[in-house]
Amino acid sequence: MNLTTICIVGRPNVGKSTLFNKLVGKKISIIEDTPGVTRDRIYGQVEYKNLKFNLIDTGGLDISKEMFNDEIKTQVEIGILEADKIIFVVDAKEGLTTSDLEVRDLLRKSGKEVIVAINKVDNKQAQEHLYDFYELGFDKYIEISGEHNKGLADLLDEISKGFKKIEKTDDEKTKICIIGRPNVGKSSLVNALLNEERVIVSNIAGTTRDSVDIPFKYDKEDYILIDTAGMRKKGKIFEKIEKYSLLRSLRAIDRADICLLVINREEGIIEHDKHIAGYAIEKGKGIIIVVNKWDTVDSKEKDIKDFTKELREEFKFISYAPIVFLSALTKKRLHTLMPEVKRVKENITKEIKTSTLNNVISEAYQLNPAPSYKGKRLKIYYVYQTGTKPPKFTFNVNNKGLVHFSYERYLENKIRESFDFDGTPIEIVFKNKNELL
């Protein structure tokens, strides 16, 4: 479903990230008094009065020529481009500044609806500057204190005006995002799966600059293929349009359920392939490694065995990812891909019965109790599944401070041994008894 998108914009250190975290209800954005801490766009979702919308936090715009300022401006411009409405945050304590006026000029050019959130209105000093902000020339102003939750309901009411209520549905199409470096054969793979020329295919790296959504059916089920621009190392991005392409690729990963990481067999594994896989894993996406141009090697069966071993060594952090060898150009072994996609689709939404899960964890604990620390030992009271996409498991324990990363990995491995979670990351959360998440 296409949710309405709201973007938070403003100069540095006016409280954008604090507001974002309060509205989203989680501490996602880093909050720091140092200007420029938030450089990239950060996404979250807000639910309010049976409504849901996407929220984007952006870096602070500053007219000074400081490091990262051009990159921040590009990120902000993308956020504004994606948004349906803008929250323009200003600081009541400091009053109107030249940087605020620069942000205003940028927002006027966008043509988007702007709501000015006058933040930090919690003392007498702030009251002195309130009316200065009307010089900005926008129609809507809301006085808030993000830190003290003042005025947030009024802001949410203003934001949600005109929203259509979106009913939740279980039959949304599974989104498959094809990711990888430039010229590894992503667009060729799209065309091969669709059996038609839907995407421009070229040997020139960077032909695909935008993410392209293409609906299709497989085995009577609906899917959407998302072809993305090749993701270069940031240091190699020179054109502004290249920056936009990378940002759109990252946004495509955000929207996807499953990512197909395409690797060029002719070139072999390159370090940046791991970085691209990392983007998908950080977002909790299902993942399949697709080795393309497999037809160019001589000893094909031997190559599958040898290269699989090499992939497992290089991609230890996604040892659960299925590996598919194919040729998008000749369509050899293409038939092996979609069955894996279907299996991963089932795994990212799989739900395990609480009783079955607790039996597995109890047996795992008895076989290998947690190590003691300063005379204290981790005790697991019970565990239950609290989410999907990716599967999330919450462990109720006596003291989550006693959890060692190696024991957490052991528990994850035991879950994977007992249930088929190939192709999906697993999120494990520990909470103390009676602690609210």
Q: Tell me, letter by letter, the H, E, C secondary structure of 258-271.
A: EEEEEEECCCCCCH
pLDDT at 322: 98
Local confidence pLDDT in tens for the 437 residues of the chain? 467 889 999 988 898 888 998 888 755 444 434 333 334 567 777 888 778 888 888 877 776 555 446 666 777 787 788 889 999 999 998 889 998 998 899 899 888 999 999 998 887 776 777 888 999 999 999 999 888 888 999 999 999 888 765 544 434 789 999 988 888 888 889 888 888 654 444 444 443 334 567 788 888 888 888 877 544 454 444 444 344 445 666 777 888 999 999 999 988 998 888 988 998 998 999 999 999 998 888 777 788 999 999 999 999 999 999 999 999 999 999 999 999 999 999 999 999 999 999 999 999 999 999 988 888 999 999 999 999 999 999 999 999 999 999 999 999 999 999 999 999 999 999 999 776 55
How does DSSP classify residue 303? H
Neighbouring C-alpha atoms within 13 Å toward the C-beta of 24: 22
pLDDT at 72: 67
- Report the pLDDT value the prediction gives residue 76, as an integer from 0 to 100: 78
State the Cα–Cα distance between residues 158 and 205, nearest whole angstrom.
45
136 SS3 class:
helix
Contact status, residue 194 vs residue 214, Cβ threshold 8 Å: yes
pTM, to two decimals: 0.62
Provide the pairing of β-strand 85-91 with 174-179. unpaired
Q: List the one residue out of 199, 207, 172, 88 whose CA is nearest residue 136.
A: 88
CA angle, corner 32, sides to 9 and 98, nearest 5? 45
* Token output for 326: 């194919």
Q: What angle do CA 322, 337, 205 make, to 5 degrees?
A: 95
Confidence (pLDDT) at 140: 93
- DSSP code of residue 387: E
What's residue 46's pLDDT?
Answer: 84
Give the type of residue at 142: I
Question: What pLDDT is attached to residue 207?
Answer: 38
Q: pLDDT value at position 437?
A: 53
Q: Which residues does 52 contact at the CB level (< 8 Å), separation at least 6?
A: 3, 45, 46, 166
Q: Where are the beta strands (DSSP E) in 159-281?
A: 174-179, 212-218, 221-227, 258-264
Burial 356-387 (b: 16+ CB within 10 A, else e): ebbebbeebbeeeebeeeeeeebebeebebee
Whole-number Cα distances in Å, 70 to 64, 90, 243: 10, 21, 11
Q: How many residues are given for the chain?
A: 437
**DSSP structural state of residue 222:** E
- The set of long-range contacts for 238-247, using a CB threshold of 8 Å and a minimum separation of 24, is 240/74, 241/209, 242/206, 243/71, 243/74, 244/74, 244/78, 244/209, 245/206, 245/208, 245/209, 245/210, 247/41, 247/74, 247/75, 247/78
- Rounded Cα distance between 16 and 92, Å, is 13
CA distances from 1 to 46, 122, 175 (A): 15, 38, 11
Q: Which residues contact 186 (CB under 8 A, 6 or more apart)?
A: 178, 179, 180, 208, 227, 228, 230, 262
Measured distance CA(278)–CA(318) in Å, rounded: 9
152-159 and 16-24 are packed helices; what angle lies between their axes, rounded to 10 degrees? 80
- As a whole number of angstroms, the distance between CA 421 and CA 349 comes to 10
Q: What is the dihedral of CA 249, 14, 437, 372, to 10 degrees?
A: 90
Q: What is the pLDDT of residue 73?
A: 74
| Token pair listed for 53 | 């919308």
Helices (H), 328-391: 337-348, 354-367
